[in-house]
Structure 1
Amino acid sequence: MKKICKILVLPIILLFGISGYIYFNFNIYNVEKIFEDRYSVSVLDDKGEIIGVSLNKDEQWHLKSIDEIPEKLKISVINYEDKDFYKHFGVDFTSLIRAVRDNLIKRRKTGASTITMQVAKSLKPKERNIFNKYIEIIQAIKIDKFFEKDEILRMYLNNAPYGGNIVGYKTASYLYFQKKPDELTWGESTLLAVLPNSPGLMNVEKNQNKLLKKRDFLLKKLYDKKIINKRQYEISLKEPLPDKRYSFKNLAPHLTRRVIEERKEKIIKTTIDSELQEKIEKISKDYSDFLKTQGIKNLSVLLIDNKSSEIKSYIGSQDFYDFENNGQVDGIIAKRSPGSLLKPFLYAVAIDEGLIAPCSKVPDVPLYFVNFSPQNANKKYYGIVEIQDALIKSLNIPFVELLKEYGEEKFFYFLKEVLGFSDDNPARYGLSLILGTKEFTMEEIGKLYSGLANFGDFRSPIYIDVGTRNFLKENRHLSKGASYLTLNTIKKLERPGMETLYKEKNPISWKTGTSHGRRDGWAVGVTPDWTLVIWVGNFTGEGNSNLTGVYSAGNLLFRIMKILPKKQKEFQKPNDLVKIKVDEETGYRLKYQIPSKEILYPNDAKPLRTSPYYKKIFVDDNGQEIDSRDKNFLNRKEKIILNYPIEVINFFIRNGFDVSNIFGNASKKKGIKIIYPTNGLRITIPKDFDGEKDLIIKIANLKNQNLYWYLNGKYLDKTRDREKNLKLGNGKYQLTIISEEGDMEKINFEILR
C-alpha cells in the first residue's frame, strides 16, 4: 500500500500543479471581453425594437442580450442541459464520474458538461480530448467562483449555436419566430433549449423529425415534473417547428450604418420611431418614383420632435439599395446650398436688433453691392414692400439689403454660435450668404428650424437615446417674440396645389429654398410638435430645370405632414410681445404726428428704430420747401414728408407710378444719382464670346433732365438716358454727371480685366 501511495504522490503533485497553473493563468476578467468582441451590433428604435443588425467579423448573426432571461427558456435549458446548475460549483462530479464509466467500461459516449463548462469551452473552441476537457473543468470552477449563476446562464445562452450562422438565443428568437425572447411559448422555448445540443445536425430546415423528438422529449419531462400542466403540454406538442428563417428589420439603414461606425457599443438604442419611419420611407420611395420621371433622382428626409430634440425619422436617400442612383449616399450629412432657407433667421435677428417689424417697408429695386448684383427669383420688383411680404415671397433684394444693414459678419457669427461649425471666414460669402452660398447639412438646417419652433432655444438634434433629457439646457439666441412673429409670417406662405385649401385646418409654418443652378430643392415645415426637413436633387450635383423647393420638395413635405401625430395645433403667443405704435405708411416706430397703428413687438428686443423714410422740412405759405436762406424763413411751417431713396423713386417713375406723395418738393430735390458703379468699387470685367464686355453705367434721372457726362474730367456726352455703355481698359476712373439744374454726382472706381 505504501508503495502504491509513493507511486501516486508524484502524479497527484503534478496534477495539482497543472491544475493550479491552469487556474491562476486563466484570466477571468477577459471572459466577458472575449464574448463582447464576437457580438453583432444591434440598433434599436426608441421602444427597444430592433431596426438593424450587422453581421459580426465571422459573418454570423450574433445578438447580445442584457435582458433578464425569460423564465420559460431558463427552465427549459436547465432541465435539458444541467438540472443541478444552481447547486454545483461549475462541475457536476457525479455526472462526470458516470460519463467516465460509460465511456471506458460500457463504450458508450455520454456527456457530463455543465452549462458552466460549456461557457468555458466556447471561450476558445478546442479539439475534443481528455486534456482539453480537464482544462474546461478548471476554468469552469473559476468562472463559477467569480460570476453569479444567472450571469453564467446568460453567457451560455448568448453564445450558444442555433444552426447555420445563427448564434445566441435572442438571435434565434428573432430569426426563427420573429418575436422577442420574452414572448416565446413553451414549445418555442423547449425548441431553443434542445437545438444547441446538435446544431450542426439539426436545424429548422433539415432533420426536423429528430429535432421534433428532442423537443417533445423535453416537453414530456417538464410535464412529468409538473412544471407545465396537461393543457400546456398538449398545446405545445401541436406547435409546428418553424420551416424557414426570417430576416431582421432594416429600417433607417443610413442611420444604422452611421451609429455603428460612430459608436463602439454592441447594442445601440436610437430615438427613431419605427412606425413613423416605415410610413415615411414608403411615402418617400413612392414620391421618388415620380421625381425620377423629371430627372430628379435623390431625396432625403429628416423629422425632429421639437419637444425632445429627438430625430424620429431619418431617411438618407430615396432607397438605400438603389445602387444605380447612389442610394447609399447619406443626404442627411451631406453639405448643400440652402437657397433661401436662412431668410427667416435674418428676419428674426433683425427684429431683435430693432431694425424692422414685420410691417416695416424696405426697398425692392435692382441694387448693386460691390461686384454682387442680386436679383429676385421671379425677376419681379415691387419698389417698396413690407418685409413680411418680402419673406413670404422670398424676395432676394430686400434681404440682401437687410443683411447689409444688420452686418454680414454679425449674421455669420450668429449662425456659427448656433450651429458650431468650424468655418471662420465670413468674407468668403459676403452679402451672398443670405442667398445660400454657404453650404449646410440637413441636421444643421433642422437645428435652426427646430430652434425657431422652440422660440429661439436652439438644441442639437439627437439620434442616440441617452435615457434622460436633463442635459437639454436652454440655448437661447432669439427672443420668444421674434421667433413667434417669424413663425407667424412663414405660416402665410403660399402652398403648392390644393394644399392652400388646408391652411386653416392644418396650420404649418414653412419655408422653401432653391439653390443657384437648381441643384438643390428644400422645404422645411414647422409645427409646435415637429420640424420636417426635405431635400431633393441629385447627389451628383447636377442641376435640373424641373427642380424647385416649392413644388419638388414642398409636395413631399405636405404628404408627410398629413400622417404626423398632432398634439398642439398652433404656436401659442408668448408673453414677451407688447403693443407699440408705428407709422401707418412705412411701419416703423412712431416719431412724428402722422397716421399710426398698433402692432405686436418683442419686449425683449431692442427698441424699433424710427422710419428712415420720413423727413421734416420747412415750407412757406404756398407749401414750397424753403431753408434758412429764404427771405420767408421766419414765417416757415414744419411739414413731414415721405423721403424714399432715390433708387426707389427712380424705379417708380420708370414704371409709371404716381410719386407725388413720396417725391416731396420736386423743385428742391436732387434728381440724379449714380446707382452703379458705387463709389470706390473695384470692378473685374470678364470677356464674352465677342471679346471685352462693356461697363454699363446705371443712373437715376428722376426729372428726365439732360445730363452731362464727364470721365476723368473729359466731356463725353449729353443725354437723358438712364444707362450708358463704356468700353474701358484697366485703370482708375472718376465719373462725373451734372444735370441741367446743376445737380452733380461724382464717383471713383477701378477697372480690372
Structure 2
Amino acid sequence: MKLINYIKRHKIKSAILAVLLVVYYFSLPKDLFKDPTATVITSNNNELLGAKIADDGQWRFPETDRVPEKFKTCLLLFEDEYFYKHPGFNPISIFKALKENISSGSVKRGGSTLTQQVIRLSRKGQSRTYLEKLKEIILATRLEFRHSKDDILKLYASHAPFGGNVVGIDAAAWRYFNREASNLSWAESATLAVLPNAPSLIYPGKNQQRLLDKRNRLLKKLLDNGTIDELTYELSVAETLPQKPYPLPQIAPHLLQKTAKHNKGKRLKTTVDITLQTQTNHIVKQHYNSLKQNEIYNISVLVLDVKTRKVLTYIGNSPTDNAHQKSVDIIDKPRSTGSILKPFLYAAMLDAGDLLPHTLVADVPTQFGSYQPENYDKSYDGAVHANEALSRSLNVPAVRMLQDFGLDRFYHYLKQLKLKDLRYNANHYGLSLALGGAESNLWDLCKSYAAMASTLNHFNDHSSAYFTNEFIEPVYNFESKVDFGKLVSEKSVFDAASIYLTFESMKQVNRPESDESWEFYDSSQDIAWKTGTSFGFRDAWAIGTTKDYVVGVWVGNADGEGRPGLVGVQTAAPILFDVFDILPKSDWFAKPYDEMIEVSICKKSGYRASTACDDIEPRFIQNSGQKTAPCPFHKLVHLDASEQFQVNSSCEDVSNLKTTSWFVLPPLQEYYFKTKNPFYKPLPPFRNDCVKTSAIHMEFIYPNQQNTIFLPKDFDGNTNDLILKVAHSKPELTLYWYIDDAFIGQTKDIHDMAVLPQQGEYTITVVDELGNEIKHKITVAN
C-alpha cells in the first residue's frame, strides 16, 4: 500500500525508474555469442573423433558443458579470485586499477572480473574507454541475474581467445596439447589459464619466455595457497611449453562430413567405438597400401551392431589422395551390386515356398533373348544344389532361378528392403537384377543384412514373434533410439526359417569364384557372408553377418575404373575377415523351430522325397516349403538279372524283372553333370529284344539358345568349323542331321556334327531313328 502511494506521489520518478528497469532487463541480448562454431563428433565414450573448422576459419568448438577443475582453479586464481563473491564487478579491483592507471597516465590495469570479460568478448573488443567499462559493469550485473556462476565460467571458457585461430578451452586443449581439456596436467592448465590475458602477444610458438614466466608465477601461487604440493610444483615447472599447434584428430573424417550436412556447428556424440574404428582404420590402410600397387585406390567399411542397429565403425574411404577422390564418402554412393543381391533372391524363394535349400537347379548354357549369363569360370555343372549355387556364386543358376521365381516378385521383395537406389521398374533391370544389373550402396545393403539377422534373433528371443519395424535405418547419433515397432505374429519381409536357411548356405566354406587359398580366409567363428563383383571388375563387395555384428566392405575406384583382380573374394573378403577378427566372437543363430517342419528329403536331388527315392534323410525345412514338388529326378526302372539293360514285359518274364530306383537328369543337364560327377550312372539302354516304351528326350548342347553364331578363325585367318552338339537320353540311337531340309550326316553314341556354313539364316533339324525331332534356328555372322 505504501509502494502504491509512493508511486502516486512520485509518478515521474516512478515512470523513469520503470523505464530504466525495462531497459536494464532487455539490455542483454538473448544470445551473447552468434559466432559460427566447428562441427565436432565424439565416440560413444566421448573421445574426440574429429572436428571441422568453423565457417570463419576459427577453431571454435560448441560451448563446453563443463569446465575442467584444474583449469577452473588456475583461471580463478589468475583472473578473478573473488568470482563467486562479487555481483559481476569488483569495486576494490576497479578502484585499484583506476588509481594505477591515473598515476601512470595510461591504461596499465583493467580490473575486470570474468563476468565483465564475458561481456567484452561478446561485444567484439569495443575500445577500452571508461564509458565502455561502465557499460560492461551494467551488462555484467545483468548477466549475473540471468546465469549461474558456473554457467558464466562455461561461457568464458568456451569463447576466450587462446592465440592464433584457437578459441575456447576445448579447442585449445586439442590444438596445443593433443588431448581432452579434462586430461590436462597442472602445468598445461596453468598455460591455458594465462593465455587469454594477452593472446595476440603470448601464445605457443611466440614469446615463449614471457609465457613461461607467467605460467610459472601462477604455479607458484598454486603452491603457496596449498592447491598443489612441492613435488607437483617441481614437476610442473619442468614441463616444456607447446611449440606449435597439433592437427586435430581425424579418426572418422567421412562420418564428420556426413554429420556436418545435418548438424553443422554442433557437437554430436556418435555411436562409434573409437577402439574398433582405429583398428579398422589400420586394417584399411594396410590393404590400401597393397591394393594401390594394382591401381585400386578406394575402400569403404561399415560395421553395425545387429541388436541396437548402431554404427560402430564408419570408414567412407581409404587414406588415398585428392587425385583419387579422398573426400568422397562411398558408403552411401550407388554402385553396381554384382552378386551381392543373390542371398535376397534365395531367401525370397525359400520364403515363398518355391525352393528348398538343397534342391537341384539347372546349371547349363542359357540364353534369354539377347541376354546370355555365364558363370565366373565359364564352366557348367549341369545341375547343382541351390545352397551350393549360392555359396559358389554361380551366375547361371541364379538367373534361371530368377526367371522361374518371377522378376516382378523378386523386385517386390527388394523394394520391401528399402534399397533407395532401385529407382526404376523391374523391367528396366531385367534378369540381370540378380547379377549386378541394379545399383545399391553399402549403407542399405548392410542395413538389410542386419535387419535379417535381427529378425532371426528377435523371433527366437520373443516367443516366435516379429517386430513390425525391423527393416529400420541404422543410427550413428548416440542419443537416437531405434524403434522396432510392435510384436506381431506376421513377418515383415522374410520369415525366420528362410533367413536361417539362407545364412546356413552363406556360411559354407566354398569360395564364390574358386577353391584357391580358401584357408587364408577361414575364421574361428561362423559367419554368413557373401561377395560380389560387378561387370568389368569395377566394384568388389563383401558383406557378412553374425548374430551380433554386420560388416560390409566395398573396394574399387571411385571414378568407376575397372582393374584386373578387382574381385570380391580377392580384395574385399580379406578386409571383411580381418575386421571380424577384431570383433568379439558370436554364437551362431538358434534354429527357429516354430517356422520349420521336419520332412523326408531325397539326398541326391534335395527335393521332398518321392516314393521312388532310394536315399532319404530327415531335414528341417521352412513351413512354406511343404508345397514344393516331390523329387522329379528319381524313377523306377526295370532291369534284367545282370542289371546292364532295361527290360519290360515285352522281352522278359515279369517275375524276372528287377525294379530299381534310378537318378536320371534331363539330357542337357546330364551331359555337363557327369563330367564333374564321375559316380553318376546314366540309365542303362534297353535290351535289343525289348519294345522301347519310355519317353525319348533330346536337346541341343550347342547351339542351345543362341540365335547368332560367330564362327571363330585360326591364326592363319581360316574360318573354323561350327561344331553342333546334341544330348540324347539314349545316345546309342542313330541321329540324322539336316540344315534347311538338306541332309548333312548321321551320328551314333557321340552326337557331334561339324559344318562350315556361309553367312545367313539356317534351320538345324535333328531326327533320331525312332522319328523324334528337334529344330533350332540360327544366324551365322562373321
Aligned to 2:326, the other structure's residue is in SS state coil
2:565 aligned residue: 546
Task: Name the SS for the 2:179 alignment partner.
Answer: coil
State whether structure 2 residue 82 is matched by structure 1 residue 56. Answer: no
What is the Cα deviation at residue 412 of structure 1?
1.8
TM-score by length of 1: 0.83
Using the TM superposition, name which of 361-370 and 88-97 deviates more. Answer: 88-97
Match of 2:476 in 1: 464
State the identity as a percent: 31
How many angstroms apart in 2 are the aligned matches of 1:751 and 1:116?
A: 92
Contact 2:356 2:621 in 1 (8 A): no
Q: 1:615 to 1:546 in 2, by over 3 A?
A: closer
Find 2:683's aligned residue among 661, 671, 683.
661
Superposed counterparts of 1:327-342, under 5 Å? 327-342=326-341
Counterpart CA distance in 1 for 2:248 and 2:694 is 82
Distance 1:455 1:662 in 2: 50
Give the 3 Å change call, closer, same or farther, for CA 616–222 of structure 1 in structure 2.
closer
- Pick from 764, 771, 774: which aligns with 1:742? 771
What's 1:379 paired with? 378
**AA in 1 matched with 2:36:** R
Q: Deviations over 1:85-130 (max 9, x none)?
A: 2333333344334444443455352213222222222223123333
- Confirm or deny: 8 A CA contact 1:59 1:165 kept in the other structure: yes
Query: Pick from 601, 622, 630: which aligns with 2:620?
Result: 601
The alignment partner of 2:601 has SS state of strand
Distance 1:737 1:656, change over 3 A: farther
Separation in 2, partners of 1:49, 1:677: 65
Separation in 2, partners of 1:407, 1:726: 38
Aligned residue in 1 for 2:70: 72
Equivalent runs, 1:265-280 vs 2, <5 Å: 265-280=265-280
Aligned equivalent of 1:648: 669
Conserved in 2, the CA contact under 8 Å of 1:22 and 1:138? no
Whether the 8 Å CA contact 2:174–2:248 is kept in 1: the answer is yes
1:185-264 pair list within 5 angstroms: 185-229=185-229, 232-264=232-264
Residue 620 of structure 2 is aligned to residue 565 of structure 1: no
Alignment of 1:444-463 (within 5 A): 444-454=444-454, 456=456, 459-460=471-472, 462=474
- Tell me how far 1:251 sits from its aligned partner: 1.0
Q: What amino acid does structure 2 have at the position aligned with 1:77?
A: L
Q: 581-590 vs 598-607, which deviates more?
A: 598-607
Partner secondary structure for residue 535 of structure 1: strand
Supply the AA of the counterpart residue of 2:554. Answer: W
Local SS of the residue matching 2:152: helix
Q: Secondary structure at the match of 1:131?
A: helix
Say if 2:511 is the partner of 1:489: no
Contact kept? 1:272, 1:463, Cα under 8 Å: no
1:225 and 1:602 mapped to 2: Cα distance?
Answer: 78
Indicate how the Cα distance of structure 1 residues 640 and 688 shifts in structure 2: closer, same or farther if over 3 A, else same: closer
The residue that corresponds to 1:349 in the other structure is 348
Matches of 1:351 and 1:363, distance apart in 2: 17
Looking at structure 1, the residues matched to 613 and 481 of structure 2 have their Cα atoms a distance apart, in angstroms, of: 52
Task: State the secondary structure of the residue aligned to 1:293.
Answer: helix
Kindly state the Cα deviation for residue 168 of structure 1 after the two structures are TM-superposed: 0.4
Closer, same or farther: CA 30–687 of 1 in aligned 2, 3 Å: farther
Q: Is the 8 A contact 1:367 1:675 kept in 2?
A: no
Over 3 Å counting, the alpha-carbon distance change for 1:505 and 1:23 in structure 2 is same
- Asked if structure 2 preserves the Cα contact closer than 8 Å seen for 1:709 and 1:737, the reply is yes
Who is 2:9 aligned against? none
Number of the residue aligned with 1:81: 79
Q: Identify unmatched segments of 5+ residues in structure 2.
A: 1-12, 458-469
1:582-616 CA distances to partner (integer Å, 9 max, x unpaired)?
Answer: 12331211232532433433454442512352477
Cα distance change, pair 128–189 in 1 and its aligned pair in 2 (3 A): same
Specify the SS of the correspondent of 2:358.
coil
How far does the alpha carbon of each residue in 1:456-494 deviate from its partner, in whole angstroms, 9 at most, with x for none?
Answer: 576456352333645245885333333233223232234
Against the structure 1 CA distance between its residues 230 and 500, is the aligned structure 2 distance closer, same or farther, given a 3 Å change threshold? closer
Alpha-carbon distance change, 677 to 103 in structure 1, aligned in 2, over 3 angstroms: same
One-letter amino acid of the counterpart of residue 174, structure 2: Y
Which stretches in structure 1 are left out of the alignment for 5+ residues?
A: 1-11
Aligned counterpart, 2:310 = 310
Equivalent residue number for residue 517 of structure 1: 536
Counterpart residue number, 2:160: 160
How far is the alpha carbon of 1:228 from its aligned partner?
Answer: 4.3
Match of 2:42 in 1: 44
Q: Go from structure 1 to structure 2 and tell me whether the alpha carbon gap of 1:339 and 1:727 turns closer, same or farther (over 3 Å shift).
A: farther
2:288 touches 2:318 (CA, 8 Å); kept in 1? yes
Separation in structure 1 between the aligned mates of residue 684 and residue 128 of structure 2, nearest angstrom? 101
- The reply on whether 1:436 has 2:413 as its aligned counterpart is no
Is the CA contact 1:512–1:524 (under 8 Å) kept in the aligned structure 2? yes
The residue number in structure 2 matching 1:414 is 413
Contact 2:547 2:586 in 1 (8 A): yes
C-alpha separation in 2, matches of 1:16 and 1:220: 49
C-alpha displacement of 1:156: 0.9
Cα deviations by residue, 1:255-285 (Å, 9 ceiling, x for unpaired): 2222212323511222222222222222222
For residues 692-703 of structure 1, the aligned pairs below 5 Å read: 700-702=727-729, 703=731
* Count of aligned positions: 725
Instruction: Give the TM-score taking structure 2 as reference length.
Output: 0.80
* Inter-partner Cα distance in structure 1 for 2:138 and 2:648: 110
Q: Equivalents in 2 of 1:378, 1:156: separation in Å? A: 68
Write the deviation string for residues 317-358 of structure 1: whole angstroms up to 9, x where unpaired. 3215x2233323323223222222222222222222223322
The CA deviation at 1:50 is 0.8
Amino acid in the other structure paired with 1:312: L
Deviation at 1:40? 1.1
Q: Distance in 1 between matches of 2:436 and 2:756?
A: 31
Does 1:359 find its partner at 2:362?
no
Alpha-carbon distance in 2 for matches of 1:459, 1:675: 44
CA contact (8 A) 2:39 2:51 kept: yes
Query: 2-side partners of 1:715 and 1:247: how far apart?
Result: 83
Offset, 1:746: 6.9
Q: CA deviation at 1:666?
A: 6.2
Counterpart residue type for residue 399 of structure 2:
V
Code of the residue aligned with 1:384 in structure 2: it is A
Does residue 1:584 correspond to 2:585, yes or no?
Answer: no
The answer as to whether partners of 1:649 and 1:659 remain within 8 angstroms in 2 is no
- Does the 8 Å contact 1:710/1:736 carry over to 2? yes
Match of 2:136 in 1: 136
Structure 1 distance, partners of 2:229, 2:431, is 80
Q: Aligned pair 1:29/2:33, yes or no? A: no
| Alpha-carbon distance in 2 for matches of 1:13, 1:219 | 52
Per-residue CA shift, 1:418-438, capped at 9, x if unaligned? 134252411112221111111
Instruction: State the 1:169 CA deviation.
Output: 0.9
Q: Deviations over 1:618-669 (max 9, x none)?
A: 9899976799xxxx99xx9999765644532455689998764399996532
Aligned 8 A contact 1:619 1:626 in 2: no
Cα separation, 2, equivalents of 1:520 and 1:366: 26
Partner of 1:30, secondary structure, is: coil
Q: Find the aligned partners of 2:712 and 2:767 in 1 and give their Cα distance.
A: 32
Q: Which residue of 2 aligns with 1:670?
A: 696
- SS of equivalent residue, structure 2 residue 448: helix
For residues 355 and 405 of structure 2, the distance between their equivalents in structure 1, rounded to whole angstroms, comes to 10
Residue number in structure 2 paired with 1:3: none
Quick check: 1:513–1:522 contact (8 Å CA) kept in 2?
yes
After superposition, the Cα gap between the structure-2 partners of 1:655 and 1:309, relative to the gap in structure 1 and judged at 3 Å, is: closer
Relative distance call for 1:677 and 1:82 in structure 2 (3 A) is same
